[in-house]
Amino acid sequence: MAVPETSRLSLNTATVRERWTLAQAIEGCARHGLGGISPWRDKVAELGLGEAARRIRDAGLAVTGLCRGGLFPASDAAGRAAAIADNRRAIEEAAVLGARCLVLVAGGLPAGSRDIAGARAMVGDGIAAILPDARAAGVALAIEPLHPMYAADRACVNTLDQALDLCDALGPGVGVAVDVYHTWWDPNLARAIARAGAERILAFHICDWLVPTTDLLLDRGMMGDGVIDIRAIRGLVEAAGYTGLHEVEIFSAGNWWKRDPDEVVAICKERHRAVC
C-alpha cells in the first residue's frame, strides 16, 4: 500500500514560529496528520526538553531533525571552545528527542576576517571535535550547505559537494541535509545527490525561491510559488535512496508568519501533494 503523502510531510517549526509555541506546533502536526516535526532549540528550551520529548512521542511524530548546531568559526580560541560546548549540548538534546539528526549550519567568517578558507577549516575542526560525542549518543550530524549569499555571515559551506568533502574527511556519523532553497541553483546538484547516497542524505527540506526575493533570510516561498523544480529534486534524492520525510521550512516575515498556522499547514499539505 502506498504511504499517504500527508504522512510523508514534516513541519520545521520555523514555518509557524511567530504564531505557535512548540506545544501548539506538536498538536497541530498531529491534528493535520503530518508524520514528523523538526523543532528549534529555543522553542524546545521554552517548553522544556523532557516535556517536548514526551509530547512529540505521545503525538506519534518522528523528529526529522533538531535545529540547529554548528556556527563553529570564531575570532579566538575561547569563541571556538564555546561553540563546541554548545554543540555538545545540542547533541544531548537531539538524543533525548530521538532526532534523526542534528542539523549543522557551518557559520560564516569571524568578525573582521576575510579568510574564508580559514573559516572552513574551523568548521571541519569543530565537527571533528564533537563527532565522538555524537557517535556515542547515536546522533547523526547533518551538514546543511547554505546558498552562497550566506557565505560571509551564516555558512561558509555552500554546496553539497563541499559538505560531502567534509563527510569524506570525517567518516561515519556525518551526512548532509539537502534543502532545495539552498541547492536548487547548483549545476552539479544531480551528481552531488547521487554521490551522497542513501546513507548520507539525512534530511530533505522544501520551500520555494521567490522572484523577486525581497529579503535574503525572511522571504522564502510556499512550494509552488517560486522557481524551484521541487519535484525534480525530490526525484533525485529518492533515486539516491532517500526514504525519509519531506520537511517544509519557510521563513516568511511578510507573508506566512502572519497567517493562521492551521491555514499555513493546510496549504503546505495541499502544495506538497500538488507540486512536490
Q: pLDDT by residue (tens digit) across 190-204?
A: 999 999 999 999 999
Give the C-alpha separation, 115 to 274, whole Å: 44
Superfamily of domain 5-275: Divalent-metal-dependent TIM barrel enzymes (3.20.20.150)
Task: Map residue 184 onto helix, strand or coil.
Answer: coil
- Report residue 24 CA to chain centroid gap: 20
Task: Map residue 102 onto helix, strand or coil.
Answer: strand
Q: Report pLDDT for 79.
A: 98
- Domain ranges in the chain? 5-275
Q: Report pLDDT for 4.
A: 62
Percent over 90 (pLDDT), the chain = 98
Nearest C-alpha neighbor of 250 from the set 215, 270, 274, 222? 222
* pTM for the full predicted model: 0.97
Task: Map residue 141 onto helix, strand or coil.
Answer: strand
Q: Residue 2: is its pLDDT beyond 60?
A: no
Rg of the chain on CA atoms, in Å: 18
Give the C-alpha separation, 206 to 223, whole Å: 7
Nearest C-alpha neighbor of 42 from the set 68, 62, 63, 19? 68
Give the C-alpha separation, 55 to 46, whole Å: 14
Per-residue pLDDT band for 1 (boundaries 50, 70, 90) equals very low
